[in-house]
Structure 1
């Protein structure tokens, strides 16, 4: 075979004799992306489950459905240090989860983040109450976006505050 036309002709002849239907390569690309997203979601679910068991959470919020609905899940310790962030955070704001673990959620805030909304969230956290809020956060490249947050305190089996869990999405 001296050129690709000969190869293509031979491949077409061979493929035509087979009784299978070939899928375009592009469909495998879509499948690969979907497969990676499912694996990331399953990995996140496993890590959250490990947190739940290790911290002995009592009645944790329904996080599995939120993860499947493509919410970003962020877990902080009682001092509000991020201990977990789901992998889909990158799509929302450009941060990899590894970049935010060990930091405070303030890393996402900036000049246009409303002080009134921050005060509402702070009050709910200090009284260990759930909250919902929409505020302006900033992506890694500095672009502002409206972020809808549902925050929930998570208690252990002794009734002591163990973590805060936030479900976030672009509003």
Structure 2
């Protein structure tokens, strides 16, 4: 089984964003729905199942849900439906060759998905997700270059 590239995951619906967040929490942190609800401060984990099936969650609980799961897919989906890009705040750190290789891989995948879309081999949702990943990666590197003159401390930054 291949691991999903969570860094570039772009959900196409809020239900998918919530499902993928739970999948990420299970895969990376071995958290069950009950543990996620507990970390959110919810006494009843059935509410989380209800929100998932309905595709609705109170907006004030989205930050707690994403923090408990460890990934901001719901916010990423909300931003993309408004025509916005959501990127992590760059710290201005010097990038490694691996970072640039990852950018190149994302851009190659984006170009491939775009070509496949115009040839009728890929649906619009997959092409949009690939384009969103490419744009997000480029925007992060652009902001990182801007911030490079004033780098931030690496306090709690995850690799």
Query: For this structure pair, what is the TM-score category when the shorter chain's length is used for normalisation?
Result: under 0.3
Higher relative CO (Cα under 8 Å, sequence separation at least 6) belongs to 2
Structure number with larger C-alpha Rg = 1
Structure with the bigger percentage of helix: 2
Q: TM-score, normalised by structure 2?
A: 0.27
Structure with the bigger percentage of strand: 1
Q: TM-score, normalised by structure 1?
A: 0.26
